Amino acid sequence: METRQKRHFRPRRLLFLTTLLSWGIIVVALGAFLLISLQQLRKSLILGMQSKADTIATSIGQVTATAIVVEDYSTVVDHCLLVLDKQPSILYIVITRSDGFSLVNTAKTWTQQNLSGIWKPAQDKISSGEFLESSLVKGRVFHYTYPFGYSGIKWGWIHVGLSLAAYQTQLRAVYLRTGLLAAVCILIGLGASFFFAKWLSRPIVSLSRVALQAGAGDLSVRATPSSSREMQALAVSFNNMIGNLRRTREEQQQEKERAEAANRAKSDFLAGMSHELRTPLNAIIGFSEILGDRYFGDLTEKQAEYVTDILESGKHLLGLINDILDLSKIEVGKMDLELSAVSLKEILHSGLVMVKERCAKHNIRLRLDAPEEMDGLRVMVDERRMKQVIFNLMSNAAKFTPEGGEITIGAKEKDGELEVSVWDTGIGIAPEHLQKIFEEFFQIKSGMRDKTPGTGLGLALTRRIVELHGGRIWAESEGKGKGSCFIFTLPKGQPGPAPDVPTGK
């Protein structure tokens, strides 16, 4: 048991999981922080480019506005080329009128074109920037559009294309610094998580080991309080629980010993009483049989009835005493089985013989149902005890089967065992009673014809005898009024010569 408990609880696994959880929390928190920081840094770089492009576009708009209005394009081109020459990060400057006429200026040359699309946005468009693939420079740029006018009249737009080289360099540097910082923080976090997990799990591991020892039965162990208030409180509570368990176990052991002593005394008393009662009972039964046989002369009808009542009551009481004595022997382990190879079919047939006369009085049909392969099959059982089991089951069936009914006893092989069954067409058993009927002194009130009530010991004794043989017994019934079936198992026996046993009623 202790080995199984250790297998379920592994301190290293607890340390690993605690470390992993702590480290995971650190990584998630760090990742969220870095993600937000990177987004803010990227946004800051974009705002920087947008501010630069806006400054350039505003400057060009102020310098060239008058020249564009009077169509002095040479002045405009010269100024744009000068700006491009001084600032290599500017890849192009395109000035577009509202009708699409455009002056396209790049670092190498300038041209006049009629442009549309992104070069001719809506009139109400405000200044804005975006990343896009530009056909002018055959690459990706930050494209900034700035509307310009003169004397309150919108004349067109100034488009500035900025190189992404500086932006990408700065972004890579940010990513590199962030990655290095994250790696350092993760390593530091891993170490911190390990030491934190070790500090956190040490008292838990200690308490768990003490719990395993206590679970294995050593209630003398005690948990050592740790520095943590919570763990101190837990250790104190655990120690109190162990102390209570120890006291409870000691009390239970004392109660068990007292109960065992009382049970032994009861069994000894019942055994002694049974022996003392059997002698006078046998005398009463013997004299009743003599009187019933008219050995001392004829009896009146009333006298014969009284003698019969005395005889039946004596036999019933003797059966009760024998059952009590047998149960007492089983309880104290003094019932030894005298095993021998016995024909199974002979045992089944003996059950029919034992209740044949009783069933004939009430027109109850008896039937033996055993396949041919059962012929000659012998089982290792105590013959007298097994016949007692069969008789108890058959007499119960006869007792609870109405006139004109049927009782069948049979056997078959199933799952490597022999199943012996006794089923009837009697009053049946309620589902809630199917387990209780094998308890001592439990009886079903049938309202049937027997004058002498049952003792409630027959089925309990039957179950004990079957279990002594290594078998099981249970009852099946579909409910009241639908008959019942009692089934018990026996270890499979060895084949032998077939006995000469009738198979009919």
DSSP 374-438: GTTEEEEEEHHHHHHHHHHHHHHHHHHSPTT-EEEEEEEEETTEEEEEEEESSS---GGGTTGGG
- State the pLDDT at residue 206: 67
Burial class (CB in 10 A: 0-12, 13-18, 19+), 107: middle
Q: Per the structure, how many domains does the chain have? A: 3
Q: Tell me which residue has tokens 């030894």.
A: 336
Q: pTM (2 decimals)?
A: 0.47
One domain for residues 296 and 362: no
Q: From 335, 363, 384, give the residue that closes a domain.
A: 335
Is residue 45 a part of any domain in this protein?
A: yes
One domain for residues 384 and 244: no
Query: Two tokens at 474?
Result: 């249970």
One domain for residues 298 and 433: no
Q: From 149, 169, 189, give the residue that closes a domain.
A: 169
Q: List, for the chain, all residue ranges whose pLDDT scores fall below the cut of 50.
A: 1-8, 449, 451-452, 494-505
- State the pLDDT at residue 476: 93
Is residue 201 a part of any domain in this protein?
A: no
Is residue 211 a part of any domain in this protein?
A: no
- State the pLDDT at residue 467: 92
Burial class (CB in 10 A: 0-12, 13-18, 19+), 7: exposed
**Which structural domain range is residue 286 located in?**
219-335
Is residue 195 a part of any domain in this protein?
A: no
- State the pLDDT at residue 501: 41
**Shortest CA distance to 123 belongs to which of 158, 155, 101, 161?**
155
- State the pLDDT at residue 381: 92
One domain for residues 446 and 374: yes
One domain for residues 471 and 348: yes
Residue 112: give its domain's CATH number: 3.30.450.20
One domain for residues 412 and 486: yes
- State the pLDDT at residue 1: 42
Check the CA dihedral 371-377-381-386 and report its sign: positive
Is residue 186 a part of any domain in this protein?
A: no
One domain for residues 264 and 138: no
Burial class (CB in 10 A: 0-12, 13-18, 19+), 434: middle
- State the pLDDT at residue 496: 41
One domain for residues 315 and 366: no
One domain for residues 393 and 468: yes
- State the pLDDT at residue 486: 95
Q: From 285, 303, 335, give the residue that closes a domain.
A: 335
> Mean pLDDT across the chain, nearest whole number?
78
Is residue 16 a part of any domain in this protein?
A: no
Query: Two tokens at 345?
Result: 């079919």
